Structure 1
């Protein structure tokens, strides 16, 4: 008797299954995440057969090993040739790892992976499987990017099981699947890109990567909310989840690690999209500070840490009279809730008034500041714009602002000051509590230690009156 078809609804956020559509997922609470999926009902086996017992599995006690028996001396990482990508991966591509690279269409995912093939192909064989383009289209893109390695093999196919069989027989050293949403398993009746297909194909590639110790890149699309399309469980299956970020109207791209079993998730890689492909930006601070205006109020440079890398970015603020009964508050690249807290602290602890004024805060270059150390430069930019008082372009600041108006210490003080000094800054406002972490005499930069925001504002007033 043929198997019956059954319609179920699966939450794309958490994978919860329901026999009917729901507006809100009862498991994770997300709205409008249920998608219909068609599955086959497996015929029920005879109840006379005994149920599997705990002892019905195979005995694998001979595979058990102690920590001392596991050899880790051999090299397990491949250098991709892109230092920014290696930094985000934690030092290189790990053997047997499954890496998911997500991002908006046209952001540069396929371009990046095809470019690293030029370096990896010098010593390793690479199989590039494209489910969206023909091999001729991939060849045209490779010619445009200057990729001519003889160890790059192309395959245009969407059958996941056939791809796995091909990999097992040809045994390439590195595999790229572009993209996971186009892959399908014939025994599953759902369409390509459905939750079931994406989950099962990812699971299939994961077992292949672990069994053969082949690193596999998976390219993933994103949905309208910016998250990787497919079930959330797919991100738990893979070893590393990378996100390509950036405004499509700007040339700069940021590569972040959302999950990484082999390294830190705080590192970022910076690239610039050119006609010849993606170029690495080894000094992001110069990129974010290029074209800074001089003698203009509402601009302050801050220093944040992205993993082990200090990055200087410009914080711009515009405070102006509002034309509406309710003033506008807008932030780009800066947490909006954090901005509201800083404004409240400035009004309560510093005696400033922003109640009837529009406030716009922007981080130049499409960068996003998530670290609390960006509080102080944001506050100084807001004060500078309100008073129409330009800040010295050779001044940098960092520090966390508490609800009492105090400036709290942050980590990696020495690295931040050294980066500011290297880029030619002459003044640095830091939390007073951070002085115990450094020796100011070792730096050729003026260090101004403040304990609250009033002291920081008084210093700006003094410097402005001096000029």
Structure 2
């Protein structure tokens, strides 16, 4: 019989060790450490391995080793997901035999995205080959639940096969027998193996499940989409080796209060890791947003007081972000600072800089700062827009809708340049902005000329407020 050793695993974060704790040393949760036995390889297996290790093995090196310039190596044909946004994040599509881990918070839309992707691939591949199939295996939902979801999002297809099981051997057998063009397993934490001890979702079980699924995907050259749960701090549950074993790690994120969803690649062996895909979550499923520029700015033609637009870079994209502020007289001993999409500490710094270097006093005011549609204005490039919006609100003077502000504000009141400035300017020009406040060009720095766009170069926050006509109200 195989020997086993007693170990302890945290059901919340996947930590494991040889000693029991009432509180997990990793995540700090109480009562989550449970005992399990991790099976070791049998003694017979060890003898078999050692008896063959000394034997000389003759192989044909040319069957395994190829030059990087060898034209006989087959060109890889990627599989399109049916979403241009998804394909771009993956580097052009799904590579055959690759294992892609999709992580995200509960209810964010991981299963919906992958089921809709499975339906899109089944539609495309069945037109090329009527015998081609796509296999969707769920350990969380029954067949009736999967079919109801597929009907709701329009992912029904005769070539899309569905199964509901939590047994690893059954999952591997289904993939091996059906040989689909794409397999989806939802999720790694619900599948368990009878070959090793441990609770489903524990470190040992997740490692065994991932290893078995990766082996069958590589051996059969079948791409696999694997769903992974996350812990409270947003990291992927289970052992850290799970992320090392797979080829691609994607994070599906967004605010549950809004319909906007962002897909990022944290690890990608077949493409870049700085791309981001935008999706819109609705009752009918998930739709891609090919041009998300209009999501983060209001569609009003008026110029309301207390608003200013900046441009933030996310991956290869430059996205507009509208800052909205409200400034009121405070009746509290400590004025209120409420933010949404803006870092509170950054706001406190900008308020101090405006007071010290631009003569705009907001210290005794209640400040409310927010972005639109769940956008995040936490990049330093948004500093100038936040400060301009605050100055607009306190002076009751609007900033023109065709004016944008891009730049980082230092503690000395200087406007500092930010990366990829020309990329931001081109996107602003494309969206119809005619005036852009930018940091003064330094030695060796040049700005591209965009048709119909006036670049107002400012060196300090006081210069920026003067350029906008916002420096004559509420001075010290």
Q: TM-score normalised to the size of structure 2?
A: 0.85
* Cα-to-partner distance string for 1:266-300 (whole Å, 9 max, x where unaligned): 32222222332212212211122134584432211
Assess, with a 3 A threshold, how the Cα gap between structure 1 residues 348 and 151 changes in structure 2: closer, same or farther.
same
1:157 to 132, 157, 165: 165
2:320 to 312, 330, 348: 312
Q: How far apart are residue 186 of structure 1 and its match?
A: 1.0
Q: Is the partner of 1:411 in helix, strand or coil?
A: coil
Query: Greater CA deviation, 139-148 or 352-361?
Result: 352-361
* Cα-to-partner distance string for 1:220-272 (whole Å, 9 max, x where unaligned): 23333333333333223222222222233322222222332322333222222
Structure 1 unaligned blocks of 5 or more: none
The corresponding residue for 1:179 is 187
Q: Is the partner of 2:148 in helix, strand or coil?
A: helix
Query: Greater CA deviation, 261-270 or 339-348?
Result: 339-348
* Alpha-carbon separation, structure 1, partners of 2:348 and 2:37: 48
Q: Is the partner of 2:271 in helix, strand or coil?
A: coil
The corresponding residue for 1:438 is 447
* Cα-to-partner distance string for 1:44-98 (whole Å, 9 max, x where unaligned): 969xx99969965985873444434486661342111101111222221122222
* Alpha-carbon separation, structure 1, partners of 2:254 and 2:3: 47
Query: Greater CA deviation, 306-315 or 198-207?
Result: 198-207
Check the 8 A contact 1:389/1:464 in 2, yes or no: no
Q: Is the partner of 1:433 in helix, strand or coil?
A: coil
Check the 8 A contact 1:14/1:231 in 2, yes or no: yes
1:361 to 369, 387, 405: 369
Check the 8 A contact 1:221/1:228 in 2, yes or no: yes
The corresponding residue for 1:303 is 311
Check the 8 A contact 1:10/1:18 in 2, yes or no: no
1:273-352 to 2 correspondence within 5 Å?
273-292=281-300, 294-352=302-360
Query: Greater CA deviation, 224-233 or 60-69?
Result: 60-69
The corresponding residue for 1:397 is 405
* Alpha-carbon separation, structure 2, partners of 1:430 and 1:81: 39
Assess, with a 3 A threshold, how the Cα gap between structure 1 residues 205 and 45 changes in structure 2: closer, same or farther.
closer
* Alpha-carbon separation, structure 1, partners of 2:414 and 2:199: 57
* Alpha-carbon separation, structure 2, partners of 1:57 and 1:9: 40
Assess, with a 3 A threshold, how the Cα gap between structure 1 residues 218 and 148 changes in structure 2: closer, same or farther.
same
Query: Greater CA deviation, 7-16 or 224-233?
Result: 7-16
* Alpha-carbon separation, structure 1, partners of 2:395 and 2:58: 73
The corresponding residue for 1:264 is 272
Q: How far apart are residue 183 of structure 1 and its match?
A: 0.5
Q: How far apart are residue 457 of structure 1 and its match?
A: 0.7
* Alpha-carbon separation, structure 2, partners of 1:154 and 1:60: 44
* Alpha-carbon separation, structure 2, partners of 1:374 and 1:72: 48
Query: Greater CA deviation, 352-361 or 117-126?
Result: 352-361
* Alpha-carbon separation, structure 1, partners of 2:5 and 2:75: 50
* Alpha-carbon separation, structure 2, partners of 1:169 and 1:305: 46
The corresponding residue for 2:434 is 426
Query: Greater CA deviation, 52-61 or 30-39?
Result: 52-61
The corresponding residue for 1:110 is 111
Assess, with a 3 A threshold, how the Cα gap between structure 1 residues 43 and 420 changes in structure 2: closer, same or farther.
closer
Q: Report the count of equivalent residues.
A: 459
1:48-87 to 2 correspondence within 5 Å?
62=61, 63-69=64-70, 74-87=75-88
Q: Is the partner of 1:94 in helix, strand or coil?
A: coil
* Alpha-carbon separation, structure 2, partners of 1:109 and 1:217: 11
Q: Is the partner of 1:229 in helix, strand or coil?
A: coil
Check the 8 A contact 1:11/1:231 in 2, yes or no: no
Check the 8 A contact 1:12/1:195 in 2, yes or no: no
* Alpha-carbon separation, structure 1, partners of 2:458 and 2:274: 28
Check the 8 A contact 1:39/1:190 in 2, yes or no: yes
Q: How far apart are residue 366 of structure 1 and its match?
A: 0.8
Q: How far apart are residue 310 of structure 1 and its match?
A: 1.5
Check the 8 A contact 2:337/2:368 in 1, yes or no: yes
Query: Greater CA deviation, 390-399 or 408-417?
Result: 408-417
Assess, with a 3 A threshold, how the Cα gap between structure 1 residues 31 and 337 changes in structure 2: closer, same or farther.
farther
Q: Is the partner of 2:428 in helix, strand or coil?
A: helix
Assess, with a 3 A threshold, how the Cα gap between structure 1 residues 185 and 292 changes in structure 2: closer, same or farther.
farther
Q: Is the partner of 1:289 in helix, strand or coil?
A: coil
Check the 8 A contact 2:90/2:271 in 1, yes or no: yes
Check the 8 A contact 2:10/2:202 in 1, yes or no: no
Assess, with a 3 A threshold, how the Cα gap between structure 1 residues 257 and 346 changes in structure 2: closer, same or farther.
farther
* Alpha-carbon separation, structure 2, partners of 1:60 and 1:335: 63
Q: How far apart are residue 193 of structure 1 and its match?
A: 2.2
* Alpha-carbon separation, structure 1, partners of 2:369 and 2:55: 61
Matched, 1:21 2:21: yes
The corresponding residue for 1:94 is 95
Assess, with a 3 A threshold, how the Cα gap between structure 1 residues 51 and 269 changes in structure 2: closer, same or farther.
closer
2:455 to 415, 423, 447: 447
Q: How far apart are residue 116 of structure 1 and its match?
A: 2.0
* Cα-to-partner distance string for 1:299-327 (whole Å, 9 max, x where unaligned): 11111122222211111223334444333
* Alpha-carbon separation, structure 2, partners of 1:45 and 1:246: 49
Check the 8 A contact 1:12/1:231 in 2, yes or no: no
1:372-387 to 2 correspondence within 5 Å?
372-387=380-395
Check the 8 A contact 2:261/2:280 in 1, yes or no: yes
